Amino acid sequence: MTVTRRAAVLGSPIAHSLSPVLHRAAYDELGLTGWSYDHFEVDEAALPGFLDKLGPEWAGLSLTMPLKRAVIPLLDEISDTAASVDAVNTVVFAEDGRRLGDNTDIPGMVAALREHGIDEVDSAAILGAGATASSALAALSRVCTGEVVAYVRSEARAAEMREWGERLDMDVRTADWTDAAAALRAPLVIATTPAGTTDALAAAVPERPATLFDVLYDPWPTELAARWSMFGGAVVSGLDLLVHQAVLQVEQITGRSPAPLEAMRHAGEEALAAR
């Protein structure tokens, strides 16, 4: 196969990324035989040099941590969505050489929620306060009509979340992580914390839980998600998010639409099962 167009995911660590599986499945389904998609271990210090060495065959990049903010000064333009949370996860190289940045995590979250029937809620809770939590807030700005409570471990993180709320013109209240069990009674709970962090909350799942969006996908299910499902609550997974944001990336990078959502989801499920 002669490669005519290239794309890749960058980050550190990157070996675990499912993005190559999802994007390659899309290329196969779309008949893009001249396209390749790879992964590269790139940290913040190496990013400028990596970008400068890319040739005209490069169509775009996916970015994961710790590059989502580090890339912004290296771009010619970013979308309003990316600017709203100071985070870029998609770079498209225009024909004139410009580097264009966008954030597909936010619309990806909204699309994943809507796929599960969540178009609007009157309040919500967020577990955690990292970069994913700011994207979750931006997604909630499109589906939540009332208060969002963020459960965090420090006053510094609390201040950050309140600041994001002000920037997004949202009603954001913060609470201490020691009270995180109270979050589980919200109509929508978005868990944005690292693996294992919410395990201790599983015992506090109410008898009739509403909807949990757990952004993790490996290992899956988390203890919280498993308990939530056992009690009959709706669960949106990290794989749902990953696939929906990747669909938008494929469409932007290749210029082909619609991207094959189900083929990408199936490829992701198979890859996770093989792990």
Helical ranges in the chain per DSSP H: 19-30, 47-52, 80-85, 105-115, 131-143, 155-167, 223-230, 238-254, 261-274
| Token output for 44 | 């913040």
| Token output for 122 | 């009157």
68 annotated active-site: yes
Of 68, 99, 157, 265, catalytic:
68
Residue whose entry in the numeric block shows the structure tokens 């599960």: 116
Cβ contacts of 178-186, under 8 Å, gap ≥ 24: 179/151, 180/127, 180/151, 182/125, 182/151, 183/125, 183/126, 183/127, 183/149, 183/151, 184/125, 184/209, 186/123, 186/124, 186/125, 186/149, 186/210
* Active-site residue list: 68
